């Protein structure tokens, strides 16, 4: 049986985690990196593939760095997240999250229930397809 390259095993693991979190990677403008990164804790996981960060957690308070124009997908429930930097686009799924963004430039999509989303800067196109979500600039 031929050996399986370690890089392939890493990609399979990242793909499995992304599928488990139920997050869809949406690209943004900018250069992609070829090596994915992953951080996992007891109640959260973050996978970065190219120029997209996929973050999933339950009942956590955390800071996330969107850096300078990455796309961000957030999934989970009962979280309080502060997102620093400039996000090109943001997709939010889950319920009962309180999310604060420094800046969202292009798109801000929220699905799920009872999410409170605030962004300070940017003029994103807002798409709220969930129920009882609050999205404000402030």
CATH topology of domain 6-137: Pectate Lyase C-like (2.160.20)
The per-residue pLDDT string of the chain (138 residues; one tens digit each, 9 = 90 and over) reads: 444 433 333 333 333 344 334 434 344 444 444 565 555 555 789 999 999 999 999 999 999 999 899 999 999 999 999 999 999 999 999 999 999 999 999 999 999 999 999 999 999 999 999 999 999 999
Alpha-carbon gap, residue 53 to 71, rounded angstroms: 6
Model pTM?
0.72
For the chain, which residues make up each domain, given as ranges?
6-137
CA distance 108 to 120: 13
| Cα distance between the two ends of the chain | 59
Q: What tokens appear for 76 in the block?
A: 């989970």
Tell me the torsion sign for CA atoms 34, 43, 23, 112.
negative
């Amino acid at each position: 049986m031929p050996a399986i390259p370690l890089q392939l095993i890493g990609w399979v693991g990242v793909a499995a985690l992304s599928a488990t979190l139920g997050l869809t990677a949406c690209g943004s403008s900018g250069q992609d990196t070829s090596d994915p990164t992953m951080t996992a804790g007891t109640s959260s996981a973050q996978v970065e593939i190219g120029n997209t960060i996929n973050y999933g957690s339950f009942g956590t308070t955390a800071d996330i760095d969107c850096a300078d124009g990455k796309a961000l997908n957030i999934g989970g429930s009962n979280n309080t997240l502060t997102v620093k930097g400039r996000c090109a686009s943001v997709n939010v799924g889950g319920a009962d999250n309180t999310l604060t963004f420094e800046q969202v430039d292009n798109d801000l999509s929220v699905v799920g229930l009872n999410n409170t989303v605030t962004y300070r800067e940017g003029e994103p196109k807002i798409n709220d397809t969930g129920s009882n979500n609050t999205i404000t600039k402030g």
